[in-house]
Amino acid sequence: MKVLVSLGRIAVFYALTMLALAAAAQLQRVPNTSLTNLPPQPPVFGYISTNAFPGLVFSNPMCITSPPGETNRLFVVEKHGRIVVITNLANPTRTIFMDISARVSVVNSSESGDVNNEEGLLSMAFHPGYATNRYFYVFYMGNATNYITGLHDIVSRFRTSAANPNQGDPNSETQLIVQYDRASNHNGGHMGFGPDGYLYISVGDEGNEYNTLTNAQYINRNFFSGLLRIDMDKLPGSLAPNPSAEFAVTTNYAIPPDNPFIGATNFDGLTVNPGQVRTEFWAVGLRNPWSWSFDPETGILYCGDVGQDSYEEVDIIRKGGNYGWASWEGNTSPPPGVNTNGQPVAENPIPPLVTYAHGTGTNQGNCVIGGVVYHGQRWPQLSGAYVYGDYVVGNIWKLTYDGTNATPPQQLFADPGISAFGIDPANGDVLYANLENGNNSLIKRITYSANSVGAPLPPTLADTGVFTNLMSLTGPLDPLLPAPGISPYDVNVPFWSDNAVKSRWFSIPNPNLTIGFNANGNWMFPTGTVWIKHFNLQLTNGDASSTIRLETRLIVKNSSGAYGITYRWGSSKTNASLVPAQGMDESFVINNGGLLSTQIWHYPSQSECLLCHTAAGGFGLGFRTEQLNRNFTYGSVTTNELSALSAAGYFSSPVTNDIHGLLALAAATNASFTLEYRARSFLAANCSQCHQPGGTAQQANWDARITTPTASANLVLATPVSNLGNPNNFIVAPQSPANSILLTRISARDLGNPLSLQMPPLDSTVPDPEDIQLVTDWINSLPLTGIPDVPVFNQPALVGTNLVLSGANGWPGQNYLVLASTNLTVPLASWIRLATNSFDIHGYFQFTNSIVSGNPSLFYLLQLP
């Protein structure tokens, strides 16, 4: 007995010793004191404007635009009836594209003295198929005879000369809308094609002031006080416009079948005749929507609506939206004198995104000019920002809007006389027209001064304090050792990075701050969280000795979101240098089995970092449940990463979930998961940061999150934003890879092409063959109906007296019912429910039923609720 007790004590001592050693090797949370050089906010440069095209002047410029897909031409619309084309933007030349000044009405014929009136040639728009059909459209004020002789709002289509792409044909005019207008102002007059391919046209309340012409809040009179949407291609399903007693309705356009007021019998609580409704309206209740634009990334439509005496406003235009004029000005009732007597009162008006009061302060003005959203690569501080201004005071502001919330407007600078904003097609810069100098007006460019404001970014990787052994490195295969408080991690399915080998670390320097865990959604990260990702590349595939260090990236979570920093190693063995804010490219020769090719590696700009590290994606992207639900080796101990993070105290409360019941993304080669789940895992890792409700690609209207079953993700047989000219194309077309837009776009590598199809739309220049094949195989496995097959039982197994039935094709966590019957022909309602259960995290199920001697044989059926 004594021996047994002695051995027991030895065993207990040994066990405790091993536990202590294991604990020392597991993930331990300690404070970090080395990352103090990372500023809470990235430095901000001062905003200034410069002459975009030195040596070129314009006469009262009203609109700046360019044809779809082009990068080397810019068009400027001049009020007196000329359209100017600027060719070769690197060495610009000004040429008259088309002159219709004889048709255009302007109150004052002096080109240098009429900057304040609102008549003239106001805008132009290019058809989405302009490259082949040569169609463009203009909005101008001109005299006409249309029931009444006098001033009219005219929308016309023209065509570019077949012989000269820089020459519009003034004799090709086809009039679409010709509407009598009793006043010279409040014409709206801005046009553009939406991502849906339809033409949108803004129209004011006809003019004068204080709604004296009483056009607000009517959808059954004429084209005033709103935004129109028409089909220039008269596609199948589109409708003819309703006739009018006030102007001639042409047959040169059609009404899109989903326009909001088709068939309306009631508006603002009053009865209307659907045959008299102007079904062209997309939105109503606008006073003078001088300029508006779509965000090309999100599809959000921003509109600047000029106010009366007190407030200016920017609206987010939605289908069927009523924006309140003349019942409201901004967020308040209109000022004294506005005529609302006997007129309908706006029901449920949509409040503005932002308003500002009249005045001369940095947050004030007198005439809003709607702007554009910046998606260029040169200025990261403007990335995703809506830039707009005020004509009178000249303030130019930026704000960001995520589909729900907007940041407070920030003034950039002031430059009175702003009439229009546009985008430089060569680089994405924001341009604006300034018409204060009449026929000597300029097109200006928003840029930054050389002097930054705020703490600078660390100039080298060593200055960041991430690693402790940089100076002792001898080659690319030496491990990088992080400072205390910076811990390694790995993910189940990495984002594709052109065959680069990646290593990852993270840090929450203050141990008193924690992560908010979410089993099925984004985690909540405290300010100060830092993620580090390092990239190596083999110059000879399969040869580790050919490895080079490429770059090390940092993402810093701050109070306003996050910012990114990129460091390039170049030829250095011991340190990396800060990449310029606008990013850079580098070429490498790759040896793949003796076949040499040139690979372009792109070091992302600071703004590009935020294209993927979005708020909708949770900023940390791979740092989430389904990516970290995997084993990882900490020192000599291998354990689940979620369990390790929880045990180390990184979460605000311990994770009590059954780890094995939580979702985990599956690699393309992990055959223990279904083919569908593996394909969806790839999409989750590479697409979900943008493709989800509230994401930056929400206009595409499909959901890449792994928590959304395929049947609910709007993927299979779903209509894409663009079908690339083939009506048989879908986002995913079952058993037809060639007709699956998703596959086409993840397979494309065409960066630099103005009509780039590539997805994700940045960085990568090398296709991802394994995952392209994975998605192809999944598409080929789908039923032609697009409806997922009901899971079927595999061959049942008899284990003792139990019948074991199993199968696949389910979605992890999805419920199913097991039904049984002795007769196959009875109605389904008569079958007996034996069990309710859910598919496991691999999409599989298993059901066991006891076989009792003498009981009749049963037929089994799996049913999805």
At 155-191, the pLDDT tens digits run: 999 999 999 999 999 999 999 999 999 888 888 999 9
Asked whether the predicted pLDDT for residue 839 surpasses 90, the reply is no
Asked whether the predicted pLDDT for residue 12 surpasses 70, the reply is no
Please give the pLDDT value at position 413: 87
Please give the pLDDT value at position 483: 97
Q: Around Cβ 89, how many Cβ atoms within 10 Å?
A: 18
Sign of CA dihedral 356, 359, 364, 369: positive
The tokens for 295 are 């965000």
Residue 791 confidence class, pLDDT cut points 50, 70, 90: low
Mean pLDDT of 724-749: 92
State pTM to two decimals: 0.62
Distance (Å, whole) CA 256 – CA 280: 8
Please give the pLDDT value at position 3: 28
Residue 854 confidence class, pLDDT cut points 50, 70, 90: low
Distance (Å, whole) CA 419 – CA 410: 20
Residue 479 confidence class, pLDDT cut points 50, 70, 90: very high
The tokens for 193 are 């094609």
Distance (Å, whole) CA 330 – CA 353: 10
Please give the pLDDT value at position 852: 66
More confident residue, 863 or 223: 223
Distance (Å, whole) CA 509 – CA 513: 8
Return all residues near 800 (Cβ < 8 A) that are at least 6 apart.
Answer: none
- pLDDT tens profile 46-57: 788 999 999 999
Please give the pLDDT value at position 24: 41
Distance (Å, whole) CA 221 – CA 246: 8
Residue 25 confidence class, pLDDT cut points 50, 70, 90: low
Asked whether the predicted pLDDT for residue 6 surpasses 60, the reply is no
Residues of the chain with pLDDT > 70: what percent?
92
Please give the pLDDT value at position 4: 29
Residue 736 confidence class, pLDDT cut points 50, 70, 90: very high
Picking from 123, 193, 198, 190, the residue whose alpha carbon sits closest to that of residue 368 is 190
Please give the pLDDT value at position 612: 79
First to last CA, the chain: 62
Please give the pLDDT value at position 792: 52
Please give the pLDDT value at position 5: 30
Asked whether the predicted pLDDT for residue 544 surpasses 50, the reply is yes
More confident residue, 840 or 743: 743
- pLDDT tens profile 404-419: 888 889 888 888 889 9
69 Cα distance to chain centroid: 19
Backbone angles phi, psi at 626, to 5 degrees: -70, -20
Measured between alpha carbons, how far is residue 239 from residues 232, 263, 299, 594 in Å? 12, 11, 24, 61
More confident residue, 246 or 754: 246
Question: What is the amino acid identity at position 66?
Answer: S
Mean pLDDT of 333-355: 88
Backbone angles phi, psi at 357, to 5 degrees: -80, 155
- When the pLDDT of each residue in the chain is averaged and rounded to a whole number, the result is 88
Helix (H) or strand (E) holding 611: helix 606-612
Picking from 593, 476, 483, 477, the residue whose alpha carbon sits closest to that of residue 542 is 593
Please give the pLDDT value at position 20: 37
Q: Map residue 849 onto helix, strand or coil.
A: strand
Asked whether the predicted pLDDT for residue 328 surpasses 80, the reply is yes
Asked whether the predicted pLDDT for residue 574 surpasses 90, the reply is yes
Sign of CA dihedral 367, 369, 370, 373: negative
More confident residue, 614 or 647: 647
- pLDDT tens profile 186-225: 889 999 999 999 999 999 999 888 898 999 999 999 999 9
Please give the pLDDT value at position 284: 97
Please give the pLDDT value at position 855: 64
Mean pLDDT of 621-644: 94
Distance (Å, whole) CA 600 – CA 589: 9
Distance (Å, whole) CA 73 – CA 90: 10
Of the listed ranges 391-400, 458-467, 759-768, the least confidently predicted one is 759-768
Please give the pLDDT value at position 23: 41
